[in-house]
Amino acid sequence: MKLPPGGGLERKLATAINDLSLALAASQEAASIDRMTGVSNRQSLLGGLFTEVERASRYGRPFSVAFVDIDHFKAVNDTYGHGVGDVVLKGVAQTIKANLRSTDTIGRYGGEEFMLLLSETDVEDAASLAEKLRQLIVFQVEGNPKLTVTVSIGIAGGFGQPLRVDSLVRDADAAMYSAKALGRNQTYIFAEPDEDARVPRAPISAAGRASAIELGRFAREAATAALTSVVAPLAQYQGRPSALIATIVSAMGQQLALPDVEIDRLRVAALLHDVGKVAVPLEILDKPTSLTSAEWQSVVQHPRIGQVILEQATTLRDAVP
């Protein structure tokens, strides 16, 4: 903003407005960026997804979504430490960001998973772009010569009015898991078998895929219920309000027209959000007075403890060949 000459009231007012504009811009950017990786955060990413789907549907244009998942990321954290894991996350995110087209968007969907929004792009062109990105992402971390980073990518897309946010998210996520099942470090398009496709596709029928997804959903729900039943009776858990919170966030997700997969993630997160408290001594949780530094340190560890519990409870994912 160009400031008026002189040092009077007008200049002071213009300076204040300019400072406010800069502060608002910085605040908006901070609210939409994932601090760890420097790309769009989940909230900003999903907002962009809804916008792109609405635009493509209105004007009958192509649009594709790609899920990018870092291969064996849990093993990276377990073997080399979370510091190296953070370097890998940022390295993958920034490599993709630096090589995307100006019309595309990358955001951190969750954990080690990123989503790409590819406007004006059909699935075949999205596959070509994804393959170029995948080959660029194969890199090593300085000081860890034995660590090689690769990614698996799943793609879904379509044209115009048939496009739906929940279907795109579900299909791209399923395609990414198919890429892992085929050996990792490759790209997979969610589509029916096609001998002329550029990217190999597993020979699975639509009915077979639907049955597999339904069985997987049932297994996930059973695992969640089993874990909840184990920790709920423990005195430290104190997660009795979790079922109510799960009901509330599910209703909120439906009101916001979030994809079914998003609502399910919210529900499970609400049910298990305090599971890490099982490792915090009961006398600390129930202490009526102020906590000591050591006691507070024990309490603040519970989110990380919960993460470890859930990682151990979901190791079947690592069994995918």
- Tokens 């969907």, residue? 109
Of residues 10, 29, 52, 112, which has the active-site annotation? 112
Q: What is the pLDDT of residue 298?
A: 72
Q: How far apart are CA 12 and CA 3, in angstroms?
A: 9
Q: Are residues 233 and 160 in the same domain?
A: no
| 52 among known catalytic residues | no
The pair of three-digit structure tokens given for residue 290, joined into one six-digit string: 């102020």
Does residue 291 share a domain with residue 187? no
In terms of residue numbers, what domain contains 54?
34-203
Q: Which long-range contacts (CB under 8 A, 24 or more apart) does 205-211 make?
A: 209/174
Per-residue pLDDT band for 225 (boundaries 50, 70, 90) equals confident
DSSP letter string, 171-239 = HHHHHHHHHHHTTSSSEEE-SS--TT-SS------HHHHHHHHHHHHHHHHHHHHHHHHHHTTSTTT--
Is 108 found in the same domain as 72? yes
Give domain status of residue 5, yes or no: no
Q: Identify whether residues 163 and 233 lie together within a single domain.
A: no
Contact yes or no for 169/65 (Cβ under 8 A): yes
The continuous run of DSSP H or E covering 147 comes out as: strand 144-149
Q: Average pLDDT for residues 156-163, to the nearest whole number?
A: 92
Q: 123 with 111, same domain? A: yes
Q: Which of 203, 219, 253 is the last residue of a domain?
A: 203
Of 152, 137, 40, the closest CA to residue 88 belongs to 137
Q: How far is CA 194 from the centre of its chain?
A: 29
What pLDDT is recorded for position 20? 57
Residue by residue, DSSP assigns 81-121 as -HHHHHHHHHHHHHHHHHHS-TT-EEEEEETTEEEEEEET-
Domain co-membership, 235 together with 186: no
> 46-98: per-residue pLDDT in tens?
999 999 999 999 999 999 999 999 999 998 998 889 999 999 999 999 999 99
Distance CA 1, CA 14 (A): 8
How are beta strands 151-159 and 187-189 bridged, if at all?
Answer: parallel
The Cα–Cα gap between 129 and 179 comes to 16
288 and 313 together in one domain: yes
Rounded CA-CA distance 199/188 in Å is 6
pLDDT at 154: 95
Q: Is residue 257 part of a domain?
A: no
Instruction: Count structural domains, the chain.
Output: 2
Is the whole-model pTM more than 0.85?
Answer: no
Is residue 155 within 8 Å of residue 126, measured between CB atoms? yes
pLDDT digits (tens, 9 = 90+) for 259-275: 777 787 777 777 666 66
Q: Give 179: exposed, middle or buried? Use CB within 10 Å, 0-12, 13-18, 19+.
A: buried
Q: Which residues contact 293 (CB under 8 A, 6 or more apart)?
A: none
Are 304 and 319 in a shared domain? Answer: yes
